[in-house]
Amino acid sequence: MRYISTRGEAPVLGFEQVLLAGLARDGGLYVPEAWPRLSAEEIRGLRGLPYAELVTRIAAAFVEGEIEESVLRALVAEAYEGFEHAAVAPLKQLGPALWLMELFHGPTLAFKDYPLQVVGRLFDRVLTARGGHVTIVGATSGDTGSAAIEGCRGRASIDVFILHPEGRVSEVQRRQMTTVQEPNVHNLAIAGSFDDCQDMVKALFKDQAFRDEASLSAVNSINWARIMVQVAYYFHAALALGAPERPVAFSVPTGNFGNVFAGYVAMQMGLPIAKLIVGSNRNDILTRFFESGAMTIETVEPSLSPSMDIQVSSNFERLLFELLGRDGAAVSRTLEGFRDSGRFSLEPALLQEALKVFQAHRCSDEESLAEVARAHRETGEVIEPHSAIGLAAARAAQESLEVPVVALATAHPAKFPDAVERAIGRRPALPARAADLYEREERVTRLPNELAAVRAHIRERLRVPGAA
Ligand SMILES: *Cc1c(COP(=O)(O)O)cnc(C)c1O
């Protein structure tokens, strides 16, 4: 499988190089040169597979020719071994045609463990084979950071620097990052917003000299490998509900557009998905886009679903590339204009194309709390605000869809205990594996919202391959 950049000017690479590179050299994101397509017969053949085996089969189509399937199988099996539910991504029925897929049974209690437990191992495997070392730099609005840290902690071939917006992640989220004591883990608390953190990470990647000096790499959803691994749970749910004979829809609480884009990839691979529903909180740039065809930046406002407090959804670029007929130059022009003016709009015909696949729904904090309360009252399930946005969006979409809707539960309720308590009057307990989180010692460096300070901090701590 070969990969091309959404901006059309970076070298065409194989899977391993795309994994290590993260962002493409022209500032774009890597996507497969062509989507692998499964026939209905082949999709049927995936029914009933254990979760790890399904991930292996899906990923195999994207790493073809570079990582042997048996190697991949062993690595993926190990990645999901510690998950606390035998089904890994269990489905719960909440209504006649309404389902919840729980994606929070990994070590950091959010869906990002599903890709990052695999991606950390992929990095280690590829780097160990090459005798290399990378410096992973990432921005987090809360959950990416801890999942990346868990995926990379203690691995000799990787140093991981995670920027989080100081005071804007929940205490559980912060502690899951800052209480990891391995020396290859570096937490930076930035005096700014998530978008500021993300902009700095992007700028570091754009600094070619620094990028080479540090062997920079990324594990947020700009990294293709992460999307690839996430595709599997769309298959998992759809197969359980009757694919390929019966189409389903998915409702996805969305921030960077990575998770829902994995659903789009599943569709391109032939999985019958009737609709992908994008849920947003008050930071609703995506919902406004799907309503109007115009992408317009506004300031980020904190909400009860902080992992979705994002304005610029970096993975939207991958969809834009498809909508613009895979024309890298057009993507470049559009996004340069967007960077300069804070706005771009799509022609009505292209918006109509997008609306065949996507629809969007905005949910205020009050509505998300009402959904947490409703789910609890009607089904006994305790969910948190991100998942509640997915569920509320699923309910709204059900009025016009005649297929089962699967809402993705992206975090464990104990990750956002204050909001859950407000909604149902009870604090969800941390699962046993995280129960001592509040007793563990924290380690974090506070830095100003300045690129130069962040770059200098990382540079001082760089480990050169082979050095002690
Ligand atoms: C990261 C995250 C999201 C948003 O996912 P994207 O891939 O960025 O769209 C939603 N909910 C939770 C709990 C998250 O951690």
Whether 382 and 428 have beta carbons less than 8 Å apart is answered as: yes
Burial of 76 (0-12, 13-18, 19+ CB in 10 A): buried
Confidence at residue 219, expressed as pLDDT on a 0 to 100 scale: 83
Neighbours of 184 (CB within 10 A): 21
DSSP secondary structure of 81-126: HT-SSTTSS-EEEEETTEEEEE---STTSBTTHHHHHHHHHHHHHH
Q: Is 280 in the pocket of ligand 1 (CB under 6 A)?
A: no
Tell me: the pLDDT tens digits for 217-234? Answer: 988 778 999 999 999 999
Dist. CA 307 → ligand 1 center (Å) = 5
Does CATH place domain 91-107+224-424 in 3.40.50.300? Answer: no
Which residue among 92, 112, 202, 356 is the active-site one?
112
Per domain, the residue ranges of the chain are 91-107+224-424
Q: Is 255 in the pocket of ligand 1 (CB under 6 A)?
A: yes
Q: Is 240 in the pocket of ligand 1 (CB under 6 A)?
A: no
Tell me: the pLDDT tens digits for 409-427? Answer: 999 999 999 999 999 999 9
Catalytic site includes residue 275: no
Which mutation among 29, 100, 103, 112 tests ligand 1's pocket best, with the greatest number of atoms within 8 A of CB? 112
Q: Residue 370 belongs to what H/E stretch?
A: helix 365-379
Confidence at residue 468, expressed as pLDDT on a 0 to 100 scale: 37
Whether 419 and 434 have beta carbons less than 8 Å apart is answered as: no
Q: What is the pLDDT along the chain (468 residues), one digit of tens a residue?
A: 999 999 999 999 999 999 998 889 898 999 999 999 999 999 999 999 999 999 999 999 999 989 999 999 999 999 999 999 999 999 999 999 999 999 999 999 999 999 999 999 999 999 999 999 999 999 997 788 999 999 999 999 999 999 999 998 888 899 999 999 999 999 999 999 888 998 999 899 889 999 999 999 988 778 999 999 999 999 999 999 999 999 999 999 999 999 999 999 999 999 999 999 999 999 999 999 999 999 999 988 989 998 898 888 989 999 999 999 999 999 999 999 999 999 999 999 999 999 999 999 999 999 999 999 999 999 999 999 999 999 999 999 998 999 999 999 999 999 999 999 999 999 999 998 888 999 999 999 999 999 999 999 999 998 865 443
Dist. CA 164 → ligand 1 center (Å) = 15
Dist. CA 432 → ligand 1 center (Å) = 23
Tokens of 378: 């009607």
Confidence at residue 218, expressed as pLDDT on a 0 to 100 scale: 85
Dist. CA 168 → ligand 1 center (Å) = 15
Tokens of 192: 């700014």
309, 435, 321: which is closest to 368 by C-alpha? Answer: 309
Whether 409 and 100 have beta carbons less than 8 Å apart is answered as: yes
